Amino acid sequence: MIDLHVHTTASDGTDSPEEVVKKAEELGLAAIAITDHDTASGAAAALEICDKYNVEVVAGIEISAEFKGTEVHILGYLIDPHSRALKPVLDWVVNDRNERNRKIVGMLEADGYDISLKGLEEKHPGTVLGRPHIAGWLMEKGYVSSIQQAFDEFLADGKKYFLPRTYLPLDEAVKAIKNAGGVAVAAHPLQYMFTDEKLRDFLRTAKAAGVIGMETMYSLYSQEETRYLENIAEELSLIKTGGSDYHGSRKPNIMLGIGTGSMAVPDGYLDGIKAAKRGYQR
Ligand code: AMP
Ligand code: FE
Ligand code: FE
Ligand code: ZN
């Protein structure tokens, strides 16, 4: 078994890259892909220590992008995490995130909440910060009793402290992944609440931009949903991939490798990704 969708403290996971690799070894996973939001630093750190563990580490990333007004996530696998092609794109995304974090935190401070950007940055050094970290802060200060409540009452779209981000166009996210030597895959296709027609439109458009696969297995998907996605993948000639979207204690119901308990991603899915990369290079 493998897990091709894992977050670390480089973004909004709560385990360090090394902790995640160690846990994967303990679980007997053959391979994991480190796919932090909008940063390759988690993947780079995992590559540096992975020789100590009996787990294959795939350097990955999960880039937020936009398709027809909806935020979508594109996974990149087998990237060079130090790629010079990736850096300016990610710098742009992170800069936009930081501007937004500054404004959200400013609004909270203005309303008397005990929060500061400096405090957040010191609490999470080297991390690409986002709403989950702000939610964690609000919980620790006792303003809410769970991360979910922080979203429901403060940070979710439509709530007082929500601000939109500026997203990369889909094709630019894919291009950045390809320029970093990686293979692009559409993440969790059912999370966007698209109709069947729009989902196919999204996947066809993504494929035209260079995406070669889609997540058909995901923590939150039933066997029926996975089968539905597998049929679409076959119709559109996209390869199948899968992963848990493990975030450590920030998403406590999702376990590394097995998701909510029954997910099992076959080792062969990574072979498909590797074959696609060789295909690019020919
Ligand atoms: P950001 O990238 O800063 O906008 O944060 C997005 C992350 O926040 C997502 O990956 C989710 O993990 C989490 N999130 C977004 N919306 C919600 C919500 N309504 N409830 C709980 N978590 C959410
Ligand atoms: Fe996340
Ligand atoms: Fe995602
Ligand atoms: Zn993810």
Please give the pLDDT value at position 196.
98
Atom 8 of ligand 1, nearest CA residue: 132
Could you tell me if residue 101 is inside a domain? no
Could you tell me if residue 120 is inside a domain? no
Atom 12 of ligand 1, nearest CA residue: 132
Tens digit of pLDDT per residue, the chain (282 long)? 999 999 999 999 999 999 999 999 999 999 999 999 999 999 999 999 999 999 999 999 999 999 999 999 999 999 999 999 999 999 999 999 999 999 999 999 999 999 999 999 999 999 999 999 999 999 999 999 999 999 999 999 999 999 999 999 999 999 999 999 999 999 999 999 999 999 999 999 999 999 999 999 999 999 999 999 999 999 999 999 999 999 999 999 999 999 999 999 999 999 999 999 998 765
Q: Residue 101 CA: which ligand 1 atom is closest? A: 3
- Of 95, 151, 161, 249, best ligand 1 pocket probe by most atoms within 8 Å of the beta carbon: 151
Could you tell me if residue 99 is inside a domain? no
Atom 2 of ligand 1, nearest CA residue: 130
Please give the pLDDT value at position 279.
87
Spacing, Cα 112 to ligand 4 middle (Å): 32
Gap between the Cα atoms of 36 and 140, Å rounded: 23
Please give the pLDDT value at position 280.
75
CATH number at residue 73: 3.20.20.140
Could you tell me if residue 123 is inside a domain? no
* Number of structural domains found in the chain: 1
**Do the Cβ atoms of 280 and 183 come closer than 8 Å?**
yes
Please tell me the pTM assigned to this model.
0.96
Residue 187 belongs to what domain range? 2-89+167-281
Type of residue found at 82: H
Those residues whose C-beta lies under 8 Å from the C-beta of residue 233, and which sit 6 or more positions away, are 213, 214, 216, 239, 240
Could you tell me if residue 175 is inside a domain? yes
Type of residue found at 66: E
Could you tell me if residue 223 is inside a domain? yes
Could you tell me if residue 238 is inside a domain? yes
Helix, strand, coil shares of the chain, percent, nearest 5, are 45, 20, 35
Residues touching ligand 1 (Cβ under 6 Å) are 130-132, 148, 151, 156
Angle between helices 86-110 and 170-179 (to 10 degrees): 130
Could you tell me if residue 148 is inside a domain? no
Please give the pLDDT value at position 282.
58
